[in-house]
Amino acid sequence: MTTQYLLQLVISGLVVGSIYSAVALGFVIIYKATRVVNFAQGELLMVGAYVCYAFLVQMHLPFGVALLLTILFSMVLAMTIERLILRPMIGEPIISIIMVTIGLSLVLRSAVSVVWGTDILVYEPKLFPQAMLMVLGVPVSLEFVWCFVLSVFLLAVFSVFFKYSKAGVAMRATAFNQQVAQSMGISVKKIFALSWVISAVVSGIGGVLIGNINGINNTLYHFGLKVFPATILGGLDSILGAALGGVIIGVLENLFDGVCSTYFDLAGVKEVAPYVILVVILMIKPYGLFGTKEIERV
């Protein structure tokens, strides 16, 4: 085990972590505004990746157009989901809402498999140049760097959006108190739809990035499951928390995996490490790094 190896683990963790952050960001946006726990977040990423593949490779459109059409598709999909499935569930207990999004995830997964099959598909032509860059003496593929930069850019854009834009402020107000928001003239329905749209678009872009690097297949939704450790670590309703949580989980799972497979001869730690971290965090700091503490009074 050299520092070189450790550094490599950290850097590849950062890249995967930045994708986790994008998905976690989508999750938090929905949770913050609508209190819906979206178990279908990974599927939104997968659908985005496949739709972009369809436009880019199957229809031979230039990348810019394909990306725009993908974003458009994600928006329409999100609005449909919100209107048809989540709107009737308002006021239902949390377990029903969890179940309905699980049902949604099954439907989306099945739709992708039915339309595109289960083989690995590769984006052609590649969006990013295939070159290597030396970071601190470690060779890093340029696509990884782009992927990381784009994720950070997305996070920055949304932080600014929530802080300064009118719609962003309205969304925060709705998250804080729906009735008050409504009496101030904010349409809560529109905010709900908007948060789903933003969330789907962010996840969809994450999917396109992943598709460019690894190619896509029908197990891409696994990214959605990593969203829970990331958001719990960061705090369920914090944008910054989601961003940091995703990156930290990405780095930690890579490090644990590398260390365990070299020293303890334990394979597959990658799949379980994030959840062990999750349990530990829940035990010592249930509301995460930046989450709002729930205070209950009788």
Partner 1 sequence: MQYCGDFRTTYEKDVKIFQTPFVKICMGFLGVALVALPFLVKGEYLWISMQIVIAVIGAVGLNILTGFTGQISLGQGAFLGVGAYTSAYITAKMGLPFWVGVPAAGCVTALAGMIFGIPSLRLKGLYLAIATLASQFILEWIFLRWEPVTGGSYGIVVPRPSIGGFVFDTDRSYYYVVLVIAAAMVLFATNLMRTRTGRAFMAVRDHYISAEIMGINLFKYRILSFAVSSFYAGVAGALYGHSLRYVSSEQFNIGVSIVYLAMIIIGGLGSIIGSIFGAVFMILLPQLLTVVTTQLGSSFPGIAEVAIALEQGIFGAIIIMFLIFEPDGLAHRWKMIKAYWKLYPFSY
Both tokens of residue 165? 């834009």
Residue 158 · residue 33 · CB < 8 Å: no
Q: Interface with partner 1 includes 268 (CB under 8 A)?
A: yes
Among 7, 98, 152, 169, binds partner 1 (CB under 8 A): 98
Close Cβ partners of 45 (under 8 Å, ≥ 6 residues apart): 22, 23, 26, 203, 204, 206, 207, 210, 220, 221, 223, 224
Q: How many residues bind partner 1 (CB under 8 A)?
A: 44
Instruction: Report, in Å, the least distance between residue 287 CB and partner 1.
Output: 9
Q: Is 119 in the site for partner 1 (CB under 8 A)?
A: no
Q: Where in 186-225 is the site for partner 1 (CB under 8 A)? A: 225
Q: 79 or 98: whose CB is closer to partner 1?
A: 98
* Residue 66 is a binding residue for partner 1 (CB under 8 A): no
- CA neighbor of 44 nearest in space, from 86, 79, 74: 74
Cα–Cα distances (Å) from 189 to 79, 97, 185, 186, in that order, read 11, 17, 12, 9
Site track 7-46 with partner 1 (rule: CB under 8 A), x = hit: ------------------------------x---------
Told to check if 254 binds partner 1 by CB under 8 A, we report: no
Measured from the CB of residue 35, what is the shortest distance to partner 1 in angstroms?
A: 9
Residue 178 Cβ vs partner 1, minimum distance, rounded to whole Å: 18
272 sits near partner 1 (criterion: CB under 8 A): yes
Examine residue 295 and tell whether it contacts partner 1 (CB under 8 A).
no
